[in-house]
Structure 1
Amino acid sequence: MARRDRDGNRGAVSLPTRRRQEDPMAAYDRLPPPLRAWVREASLPWSAQSCRRIWQAARRAGLGEEAALAHLDAVEQKTLAQPRNR
């Protein structure tokens, strides 16, 4: 019965489940301060790994901090606009 309770909400989202490779709080603590501030205010529960990947790609593309944060906002809005599969 305990197993069933733990797995009870697996169908609630269409994202695959994955085992974490690192401590999520340690990963969050290693984010740059502007990115940590963005994560705190985000509408979605972003992982530190996802945010860091988007942030680094934006910075490699030559965007400054403010532009990289605006890019993260745009990615979040695009994600929120996608239809949910239930």
Structure 2
Amino acid sequence: MRRGANLGATVLRTRRRALDPMRAYDALPADLRFWLQDAARPWSPVTCLRLWRRVMAEEGCPARARARLDRIEAATLARDHLRDPGLA
């Protein structure tokens, strides 16, 4: 039988290989890793890196970018709290 010949024989979707979260975290810029250490909730390294690049392009300074990430996180926490007041 050919390798991969049964891919169409099921209705189940194929899964993408998950990234190694520690490797993804280790590859982040140091300033972003420092920010993540004190984050209130866990963030995906991929999501965080995308956000960091956008914020750095707009702010240009790691200190201002970290401050902006703090504001973004506060807004996210407030929005989550409105959806589920049981979150603290």
TM-score using structure 2 length: 0.68
Q: Distance in 1 between matches of 2:58 and 2:25?
A: 23
TM-superposed deviation, 1:63:
2.5
- Which residue of 2 is the match for residue 31 of structure 1? 28
- Structure having greater relative contact order (Cα 8 Å, sep ≥ 6): 1
* Structure whose CA Rg is larger: 2
Matched residue count: 69
Regions of 4+ moved over 2 Å: none
- Structure 1 residues 62 and 73: CA distance shift in structure 2, 3 A: closer
Unmatched 5+ stretches in structure 1 = 1-18
Question: What fraction of aligned residue pairs are identical, expressed as a percent?
Answer: 43
- Which residue of 1 is the match for residue 9 of structure 2? none
TM-superposed deviation, 1:62:
4.0
User: Is 2:36–2:43's contact at 8 Å kept on the other side of the alignment?
Assistant: yes
TM-score using structure 1 length: 0.70
